[in-house]
């Protein structure tokens, strides 16, 4: 099986988005093609190095990787995502501080997280407070940060309503994905490829039917082209 450019670029973005959302590169499903491990991973070495640096929680190492391979990331149109990876690592390391300290100066935060200085540390902390990622207050007079526990008890009517809203959105998304999967599986092109037919077989067999009946006896009108 040949290496697809689309597969390679998608895998690079998969690494970056996994780091942003989960703090690590998630394992691919078992049914993933062996092409990924055999060919695509070696072709995305710069991204593998970035992920390795991320896993040791070193913002300095991640920044060094970004600087080293900046031209590659720019060429791949991934520099924006790469910078987000670094920003999320700063946030992750600030969150780790909240589990160890009750009070820290902005200078200490900047030093421990490897930020440029107190002003940048304050910017990150204020952003995280606003987004509900941490709970803290900043004393502007002495430049101290006090970390707090989450005040939400998750038993208020508003919180329960939010849970129900999120669950409904997930259910609707799952329904749409299943519908799209069914439509793709029922396309004549997919059926022919799944049956092992090639283009010459298609020409000999004549034009494919435009309607396919699914297992429930419903007629599906296919509009996809591949």
- pLDDT at position 48: 95
What pTM was estimated for this model as a whole? 0.67
Phi/psi for 156 (5° steps) reads: -85, 155
Average pLDDT in the chain = 84
- pLDDT at position 198: 57
**Alpha-carbon distances of 155 from 128, 151, 158, 164, 171, rounded to whole Å:** 23, 11, 8, 13, 22
CATH top-level class of 101-150: mainly alpha
User: Does residue 56 have a pLDDT over 80?
Assistant: yes
β-pairing, 211-213 vs 219-221, is: antiparallel
- pLDDT at position 15: 96
Report which of 6, 23, 5, 25 is spatially closest to residue 14, judged by C-alpha positions: 25
- pLDDT at position 1: 54
pLDDT, one tens digit per residue, over 36-51 is 778 888 899 999 999 9
Residue 152 CA, chain-centre distance (Å), reads 27
- pLDDT at position 193: 73
- Quick one: what percent of the chain has pLDDT higher than 90? 56
User: Does residue 222 have a pLDDT over 50?
Assistant: no
Average pLDDT (99-107) is: 92
Torsion, Cα 158 162 163 165, to 10 degrees, reads 140
pLDDT, one tens digit per residue, over 176-191 is 999 988 888 888 887 7
For the chain, what are the domain ranges?
1-97, 101-150, 157-192
Q: How far apart are CA 126 and CA 142, in angstroms?
A: 16
Residue 15 CA, chain-centre distance (Å), reads 8
């Amino acid at each position: 099986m040949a290496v697809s450019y689309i597969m390679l670029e998608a895998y690079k973005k998969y690494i970056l988005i996994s780091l942003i959302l989960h703090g690590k590169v998630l394992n691919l499903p078992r049914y993933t093609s062996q092409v990924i491990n055999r060919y695509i991973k070696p072709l995305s070495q710069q991204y593998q190095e970035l992920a390795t640096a991320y896993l040791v929680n070193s913002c300095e190492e991640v920044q060094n990787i970004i600087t080293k391979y900046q031209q590659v990331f720019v060429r791949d149109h991934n520099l924006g995502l790469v910078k987000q990876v670094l920003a999320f690592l700063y946030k992750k390391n600030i969150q780790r501080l909240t589990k160890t300290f009750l009070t820290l100066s902005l200078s200490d935060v900047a030093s421990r997280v490897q930020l440029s200085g107190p002003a940048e540390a304050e910017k990150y902390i204020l952003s995280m407070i606003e987004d509900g990622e941490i709970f803290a207050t900043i004393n502007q007079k002495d430049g101290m940060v006090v970390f707090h526990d989450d005040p939400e008890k998750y038993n208020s009517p508003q919180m329960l309503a939010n849970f129900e809203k999120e669950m409904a959105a997930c259910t609707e998304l799952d329904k749409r994905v299943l519908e799209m999967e069914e439509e793709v599986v029922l396309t004549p092109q997919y059926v022919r490829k799944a049956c092992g037919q090639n283009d010459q077989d298609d020409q000999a067999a004549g034009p494919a039917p435009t309607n396919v009946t699914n297992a429930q006896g419903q007629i599906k009108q296919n509009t996809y082209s591949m």
